[in-house]
Amino acid sequence: MKRAVEEVGRIYGDVGLGQFHFSLTVPVERGDYLAVVDEQHGKVLCQLDDLKRKSDLDLEHAGALQPSEEAHLHESMLGVAQIVGYRDASGVVKIPTIPFRPGAHVYRAEEPLIAEVLGLKHHANTGAYVGLLRNHSLRVELDINQLVQRHVSVLAKTGGGKSYLLGVLIEELLRHRVTCVIIDPHGEYGSLRVPAEKNGSSARFGVEAQGFGKQIQEYSPDVSLNPSATPLTFSLRNSDPRDLLVFMGLSNVKSFLAPLKQLIERVAAANPEYTVHDLVRAAEAGEGAIAETMAERLEYVDQTKLLGPKGTSLNDLVKPGGATLINLRGVAPDVQELVVSRIASTLFDNRKKGKIPPLFLVIEEAHNFAPQQGSATSSRVLKNIASEGRKFGLGLCAVTQRAARIDKSVLSQCNTQLILQVTNPLDLKAIAQSIEGLTPGMTEMIQSLPVGVALVTGGGYHTPLFCEVRPRATRHGGESVQIVAS
Ligand SMILES: Nc1ncnc2c1ncn2[C@@H]1O[C@H](COP(=O)(O)OP(=O)(O)O)[C@@H](O)[C@H]1O
Ligand SMILES: [Mg+2]
């Protein structure tokens, strides 16, 4: 359906180069696109950033009203619009250098103008289709090369829709045969194998249910809890005694380090092909409380089967054109950090050597693996990947509900941000500081975004835009647990 050009108001007062005020005569939502015809450049795209209801009722008169008395007043709506720009003959987006004329008409922007100025593409070869521009039927596609080369962050409060959106993104990457490794602390992403059930809004978004079972493999350090996964193991002889202490659950007890080192040296001298079981027996043969604890904890490590003679090979772990899930459900936090650190380091080293294809490394709960305060075993390598990964085709995707708690240097290196609802003031502050081009109106809007609407910055777009996330083609694995049956 083609809408006639709709006038929504007139510009008034002092007019600036970036912003203007206008009278609003029809309802327009904050964030909606507007157009003003500029004498020199034709139609210029603008966006409603704020709305105010003005009246001539002042404090004194309002205070003097009786409880039952109606207020008699004149009121009008005023809009504050941000100028987005026009595309010039060479395809560059520019903002007019002369302010609009007061009295100029303000129209609702038509879709062709919006698509042209924002640079929205339909079915681009390198496009990841994440949803529709809010209140429109224009596709928002993120440029996959930009995503992988320039890193991504997904930010929202718990329940804001991060995992859902990430699922959408991974579906798109799998369609384009981009290799992904996903750190999945809650075991949510296995459902990418399963086609979604019918969804009422799928038709509007043009999404068909599809499973990606053939492209997905899953590893876990704990296969008794996660039986759909293949065991993830590390090479015992490539493990530092410090790492071993983490696996033993003794990373905080430094007094064990020297005795453990001695134990390993002794066992290795007798048999270079030693196993965890050999370490257990040697510890059992020792005397005293330390030897006893070591024996007990090594026995536990032996049972986890996390440390084997060889460890999972990188060739198995990375599936070119597919996604590898590292399911860490039920794994102790310090072991999780160590697993992330070891996997991220191996991927980075081998990417530098060109032994594996360019890939996208997704870290869910990234504030735990690269915290701003305190330290995690995985912090250093994640910071290195954030600052240098792009040179080597290793893209990082950091997902977190605490933008204020993730390492600032990691957050600031993410050039595409997908932001859903955020209400915590500290997190909002961290987001506002790390993103260019956010208007005060947009920062306010982030606090009240409905589930399923994301603010997208970067990803090939020069200006932030609001996107209604498309329905999943696969089942979403992160459904909230019902405590009481309905
Ligand atoms: N785009 C969306 N469309 C429909 N439902 C959604 C959408 N995003 C999230 N949800 C629903 O909201 C809930 C929370 O989403 P989830 O992605 O698990 O949140 P988070 O990972 O941020 O904690 C889920 O139950 C999911 O079904
Ligand atoms: Mg989640």
* Tokens matching residue 284: 């059992």
For ligand 1, residues with CB inside 6 Å are 156, 158-164, 451-452, 469, 476, 478-480
Helix (H) / strand (E) element for 142: namely: strand 139-143
* Tokens matching residue 24: 């609003």
Distance 421 CA to ligand 1 centre (A): 11
What rounded mean pLDDT belongs to the chain? 93
Distance 452 CA to ligand 1 centre (A): 7
Q: Which of 299-308, 319-328, 401-410 has the lowest mean pLDDT?
A: 299-308
In the chain, what are the domain boundaries?
7-118, 127-230+314-469, 235-308
Apex CA 255: angle with CA 251 and CA 260, to 5°? 75
Q: Which of 43-47, 121-125, 194-198, 200-204 has the lowest mean pLDDT?
A: 200-204
Ligand nearest to the CA of 155: 1
* Tokens matching residue 169: 């993104």
Residue nearest to atom 9 of ligand 1 (CA): 161
Q: Which residues contact 438 (CB under 8 A, 6 or more apart)?
A: 431, 432, 457, 464
> At residue 481, does pLDDT exceed 70?
no
Distance 146 CA to ligand 2 centre (A): 24
pLDDT computed for residue 478 by the predictor: 66
> At residue 296, does pLDDT exceed 50?
yes
Instruction: Check residue 209 and report its DSSP letter.
Output: -
> At residue 483, does pLDDT exceed 90?
no
Residue 8: strand, helix, or coil = strand
pLDDT computed for residue 1 by the predictor: 47
Name the residue of 451, 468, 482 whose CB sits within 8 Å of the most ligand 1 atoms, as the mutation to test its pocket. 451
Distance 251 CA to ligand 2 centre (A): 28
> At residue 396, does pLDDT exceed 90?
yes
pLDDT computed for residue 174 by the predictor: 98
Residue 465: strand, helix, or coil = strand
293, 259 contact by CB (below 8 A): no
Name the residue of 132, 162, 164 whose CB sits within 8 Å of the most ligand 1 atoms, as the mutation to test its pocket. 164
Beta-strand runs (E) in 349-480 = 359-363, 394-400, 416-419, 453-458, 461-469
Atom from ligand 1 closest to the CA of residue 452: 1
pLDDT computed for residue 3 by the predictor: 54
pLDDT computed for residue 41 by the predictor: 94
In this structure, are strands 216-220 and 323-327 parallel, antiparallel, or unpaired? parallel
Of all residues in the chain, the percent with pLDDT exceeding 90 is: 82
pLDDT computed for residue 96 by the predictor: 96
Ligand nearest to the CA of 480: 1
Distance 453 CA to ligand 2 centre (A): 15
Residue 393: strand, helix, or coil = coil
Distance 200 CA to ligand 1 centre (A): 16
What strands, in cross-sheet order, belong to the sheet with 230-231? Answer: 139-143, 127-133, 461-469, 453-458, 416-419, 152-155, 394-400, 359-363, 179-184, 323-327, 216-220, 230-231
Say which CATH class 127-230+314-469 falls into.
alpha beta
> At residue 484, does pLDDT exceed 90?
no
What does residue 443 show for φ and ψ, rounded to 5 degrees?
Answer: -60, -40
More confident residue, 237 or 356: 356
Topology annotation, domain 7-118 = Elongation Factor Tu (Ef-tu); domain 3 (2.40.30)
pLDDT computed for residue 309 by the predictor: 83
Residue nearest to atom 3 of ligand 1 (CA): 452
Of the pLDDT bands very low, low, confident and very high (cuts 50, 70, 90), residue 375 is: confident
pLDDT computed for residue 4 by the predictor: 66
Q: What is the Cα–Cα distance from 255 to 253, expressed in whole angstroms? A: 5
Q: Count CB neighbours of 122 within 10 A.
A: 10
Residue linked to tokens 């071993």: 244
| Whether pTM exceeds 0.75 | yes
Distance 158 CA to ligand 2 centre (A): 7
pLDDT (mean) for 233-237: 91
In this structure, are strands 33-38 and 42-55 parallel, antiparallel, or unpaired? antiparallel
> At residue 336, does pLDDT exceed 80?
yes
Ligand nearest to the CA of 401: 1
Cβ burial of 125 (10 Å; 0-12, 13-18, 19+) is exposed
More confident residue, 486 or 370: 370
Ligand nearest to the CA of 157: 1
Of all residues in the chain, the percent with pLDDT exceeding 70 is: 97
pLDDT (mean) for 261-269: 95
Question: What is the sign, positive or negative, of the torsion defined by CA atoms of 183, 184, 190, 193?
Answer: negative
CA dihedral 395, 398, 399, 403 (to 10 degrees): -150
